[in-house]
Amino acid sequence: MHNALELADDPAAQQWEGDREKELLKLEALYCSHGDTVHYSEPPKIFDRCEGSFIYDLQGREFLDLQMWYSACNFGYANARLNDAVKRQLDKLPQIASQYLHPEKIELATLIARDAEEKFGAKGRVHFNVGGSQAVEDSLKLVRNASGGKSLMFAFEGGYHGRTLGATAITSSYRYRRRYGHFGDRAQFIPFPYHFRGAKGMTKEEYGEACVKNFERLFETEYYGVWDAKAEQAEYAAFYVETVQGTGGYVIPPPNFFVELKKVLDRHGILLVVDDIQMGFCRTGKLWSIEHFGVAPDILVFGKALTNGLNPLSGLWAREELISPEVFPPGSTHSTFASNPLGTAVGLEVMRMIQEQDFTVSVPEKGRYFLQGLEELKRRHKIVGDVDGLGLALRVEICEPHDSFTPSKAIVDRMVDESLKGDLEHNGRRYGLVLDIGGYYKNVITLAPALTITKEEIDLAVALLDQLFHRVTRSL
């Protein structure tokens, strides 16, 4: 193996790493399951090193990462402060069964719960688990328990809540369920205010209101299948929402949307569960993305950037009535690695860092600057149909150039292939780009750069995207 300096000037070292890559890919093809998402792009890519906003492949090629592990790595790769928290814990108490307490778990839960109490006006508790989907499963238990065993949920078209069986049932894509039959009841999926593709002739706010009205119509008469007017009972226990849709393509609803939706839910005794797994931890410029929208959730689920992509930890915060020891007693749920101390130690450091550093100012500023760059790209490239952003959750919707509206997955697929070659150029230096693709038509570049990204790196990102867009449109 070679270090970056050796690789930069030494063709023999590059050749050696190239051969090693080929050998590793052969072994992967034989011995790794292809059931994960690695083979979404061919050939799959191997990375070897990371720092800040960049990751490096085996040959030392530099890639500007604009998706940061689907927003799990909000605070930059190899963040020294967060890595040190893990190292300290490694030397102190790296292992302890979840059945016993350790200080960091209690302190982390306290910070989250006190913050939520201040913001949402309700005392609550925190429950930890290891991955986002598992925390969603835990939230389903709370919801079913609180509603006397109701198993039906509302969720949004375009929503994504994970790929365990329960989480898949409330995720809109049938693709994730098709092979496995039904384990839990499939949610009823309600249209999200996706204004760019919504009804024409309405403002974003009007479209949001229309979406809520359409939803509310379901409760007008028992014949629409969700409401027993005599018993004043909904058949549905909760509405699962991503405030800003993640996998759905970073779709940002209008500011009045959740206030109006929550009124309908409150009138019908339906809980609001906010899945902030992707948009939490300052991605949108606030700790929780729902804070932009003026409503308090009953349950809030989080994961990903809680540990900046280090030891996995996820969790949920719930109002006391839903999670008090009386209703959610010891043993209600358990996982060996839930509240693992390496995870809680880094999670605690993340929360302290957020309290000390002003991400609520810097992220919106950087987001506005990045969005201006994207708007300029939209003016210059007909393939860009829509750009939008909230903090550093930014979207670029790629369309056919003849109308800048018809979704083009094909162009996006070409972009992903080109960006992984690592041969874009800026100021005499070569770069690749790491992009994540989402959206209802798989035609949206969902940009989630490091919240620590610099202005120069944003300029680089816009310049490289510009070059990439030129490259893929030359052949159209």
Ligand X SMILES: Cc1ncc(COP(=O)(O)O)c(C=O)c1O
Indicate whether 246 belongs to the interface with ligand X (CB under 6 A).
yes
Indicate whether 275 belongs to the interface with ligand X (CB under 6 A).
yes
Q: Name the residue nearer to ligand X (CB basis): 98 or 133.
A: 133
Q: Name the residue nearer to ligand X (CB basis): 162 or 193.
A: 162
> Contact region for ligand X (CB under 6 A) — 5-13, 51-59, 132-140, 449-457?
132-140
Question: How many whole angstroms separate alpha carbon 32 and alpha carbon 44?
Answer: 12
Indicate whether 242 belongs to the interface with ligand X (CB under 6 A).
yes
Indicate whether 162 belongs to the interface with ligand X (CB under 6 A).
yes
Q: How far is the CB of 70 from ligand X (least distance, A)?
A: 5
Q: How far is the CB of 215 from ligand X (least distance, A)?
A: 20
Q: Of 125, 127, 144, 161, which one interacts with ligand X (CB under 6 A)?
A: 161
Q: Of 76, 166, 254, 303, which one interacts with ligand X (CB under 6 A)?
A: 303
Indicate whether 150 belongs to the interface with ligand X (CB under 6 A).
no
Q: Of 75, 128, 156, 160, which one interacts with ligand X (CB under 6 A)?
A: 160
Indicate whether 281 belongs to the interface with ligand X (CB under 6 A).
no
Q: Name the residue nearer to ligand X (CB basis): 74 or 408.
A: 74
Q: Of 147, 278, 340, 408, which one interacts with ligand X (CB under 6 A)?
A: 278
Q: Name the residue nearer to ligand X (CB basis): 303 or 391.
A: 303
> Contact region for ligand X (CB under 6 A) — 26-34, 85-93, 154-162, 282-290?
154-162
- What is the size of the binding site for ligand X (CB under 6 A)? 15
Q: Name the residue nearer to ligand X (CB basis): 437 or 464.
A: 437
Q: How far is the CB of 257 from ligand X (least distance, A)?
A: 17
Question: How many whole angstroms separate alpha carbon 440 and alpha carbon 176?
Answer: 14
Question: How many whole angstroms separate alpha carbon 138 and alpha carbon 302?
Answer: 12
Extract the tokens encoding 5.
Answer: 């300096």
Indicate whether 436 belongs to the interface with ligand X (CB under 6 A).
no
> Contact region for ligand X (CB under 6 A) — 8-16, 112-120, 127-135, 205-213?
127-135
> Contact region for ligand X (CB under 6 A) — 128-136, 321-329, 412-420, 456-464?
128-136
Q: Name the residue nearer to ligand X (CB basis): 56 or 75.
A: 75
Q: Name the residue nearer to ligand X (CB basis): 76 or 312.
A: 312
Q: Name the residue nearer to ligand X (CB basis): 363 or 393.
A: 393
Question: How many whole angstroms separate alpha carbon 152 and alpha carbon 235?
Answer: 7
Q: Name the residue nearer to ligand X (CB basis): 56 or 70.
A: 70
Print the binding letters for residues 412-431 with ligand X: x by CB under 6 A, - otherwise. Answer: --------------------
Q: How far is the CB of 132 from ligand X (least distance, A)?
A: 2
> Contact region for ligand X (CB under 6 A) — 7-15, 156-164, 291-299, 343-351?
156-164
Q: Name the residue nearer to ligand X (CB basis): 53 or 171.
A: 171
* Helix 80-92 with 341-356: angle, nearest 10 deg: 140
Q: Report which of 120, 168, 172, 112 is spatially closest to residue 140, judged by C-alpha positions.
A: 168
Q: Name the residue nearer to ligand X (CB basis): 72 or 416.
A: 72
Indicate whether 280 belongs to the interface with ligand X (CB under 6 A).
no
Q: Of 124, 131, 315, 347, which one interacts with ligand X (CB under 6 A)?
A: 131
Question: How many whole angstroms separate alpha carbon 443 and alpha carbon 319?
Answer: 38
Residues that bind ligand X (CB under 6 A): 70, 131-133, 136, 160-162, 242, 246-247, 275, 277-278, 303
